[in-house]
Every structure is written in structure tokens, then in C-alpha cells.
Chains A and B, each alone.
Chain A
Amino acid sequence: DVKVTQSSRYLVKRTGEKVFLECVQDMDHENMFWYRQDPGLGLRLIYFSYDVKMKEKGDIPEGYSVSREKKERFSLILESASTNQTSMYLCASSPLGLAPADTQYFGPGTRLTVL
């Protein structure tokens, strides 16, 4: 069974703090993704990575950065947290496959509140 874990379920931070969200997958997947989920807006892609040390911007990368030093771990960094970054953050992984079934497996999410 694919397992994607995220370091925290709930996190409360103050405006201006540097925030690290960690994600680990145990299935040797090449691709990893960070999304944020807001009511009515669905999941929006922040960054993704298709290999160690590789990263690509998603649809809403502003205010975020990422790090992937090991294949199983993908970190999302909020350099200076702001209140509009209060959201649910979801990490996902997928194999670098060619079959339609090679879809994304999600972690449980981190609900971040920035005060």
C-alpha cells in the first residue's frame, strides 16, 4: 500500500515566520507534488518535482519554495508566512509511468493557520 505522510496535521504560525512542511513517501515514486486546497477552488498546484533536486513551478508558486534532497522527501517552504497562506496543504506522489493508472497518491494534509 502506498503511503504518503506529512509531518503535521495542524500547524499554527505567525505572520513573517519561516514555515517548513515535510512530506515523505515510501513507494520509490519519482514525482512528488505540493497543492493547496481552499473551499470552492479545489486543489491548486504549487510546485512539483520529477526527480531529486529537480523542481518545477505549478500554478501558484509565489511565496513558496521547495526542496527535494532525497527521492522520498519533498519539503514545502513558506519563506515569510502571510495570512493569505492559511490553507490545507496536500502532498502527493506518483510513479513516472505511462499508464493512466499511474495517478497521484495523497497524504492526509496539513491544515496551516497563519495568524
Chain B
Amino acid sequence: QKEVEQDPGPLSVPEGAIVSLNCTYSNSAFQYFMWYRQYSRKGPELLMYTYSSGNKEDGRFTAQVDKSSKYISLFIRDSQPSDSATYLCAMSPSTAGNKLTFGGGTRVLVKP
């Protein structure tokens, strides 16, 4: 079983809809949680990070962490065609060495 599980999609939504993405994990030592966005033929870029449990909001993006359930989520409000990309969750037990464990990525398509 993978340490981090993520539905590969694709997830297709109409423009303006809320996109809901999630990852589950098995390692209770993870404390830092990140979401990366990867456009086609590009490297991943950091979208959001959270530490421990709780919510974090940045514009149209909200990240949630539920450590008790080992479950993290990313919500994209008012989705745009430019949000079409693969979204990868990543996590780490600490910042030391910055070793990250990634999920497989979810491909999202926002249709105009």
C-alpha cells in the first residue's frame, strides 16, 4: 500500500464550479502538508502548505488537514479553465532535509 493515496482522476468540472481534491496517508509522523500544481510539460510548483491540522485559505484556494483521519483536502472555488492541471499532494514529517512523500496526482479539467 502506498504511503500517500490520491485519486488519479481525471476530474472534469464546468467553469465556476468548486473543485474538491483529497489525499489520504498512513504515516502519522507527517506534519507538513503541501499542494503542488503541475501544468502539462512543466515541473510542479508549490500552491499551498499547511502545518499540522486546520484550514488555510489563499484567494480561491482552501487547504484542510485532518490529522486524526489522516486526510487532507484542497478546494478551488470559482474554478477557471486556467486551473486545469495535475494537482499533487506532498507531505513531510519535518522540514529537515525537506524530504517529501508525494501522492500520485489528480488531473483536473475545467471546461469553459
A94 touches B98 (CB 8 A): yes
Smallest Cβ distance from A105 to chain B, in angstroms?
A: 8
Q: Is residue A45 within 8 Å, beta carbon to beta carbon, of the partner chain?
A: yes
Chain A residues whose CB sits within 8 angstroms of the CB of B100 once the complex forms: 43, 45, 103-104
List, in ascending order, chain A residues with CB within 8 A of B32's CB.
100
Q: How far is the CA of A4 from the CA of B98 in the complex (A)?
A: 17
Are B43 and A108 interface neighbours, CB within 8 A? yes
CB of A108 within 8 A of CB of B42, answer yes
Interface size for chain A: under 10, 10 to 19, 20 to 34, or 35 or more residues? 20 to 34
CB within 8 Å: A-B pair count: 64
Docked pose: A90 CA to B6 CA in angstroms: 20
Q: What A residues does B88 contact at CB under 8 A?
A: 42-43
Quick check: which of B14-22, B74-82, B101-109 contacts chain A, the rest being far away? B101-109
Contact B49 A101 (CB under 8 A): yes
Give chain A interface residues in 44-65, CB to chain B under 8 Å.
44-45, 48, 50, 56, 58
Give me 18 A-to-B residue pairs in the complex whose CB atoms sit less than 8 angstroms apart, sorted by A's number: A4-B43, A31-B98, A41-B104, A43-B88, A45-B99, A45-B100, A90-B44, A97-B95, A99-B95, A100-B32, A100-B51, A103-B49, A104-B100, A106-B43, A106-B44, A106-B45, A108-B41, A109-B42
**Hey, which bits of chain B sit against chain A, CB under 8 A?**
4, 6, 8, 32, 34, 41-46, 49-51, 88, 90, 95-100, 102-105
Q: Which residues of A contact B (CB under 8 A)?
A: 4, 31, 39-45, 48, 50, 56, 58, 90, 92, 94, 97-109
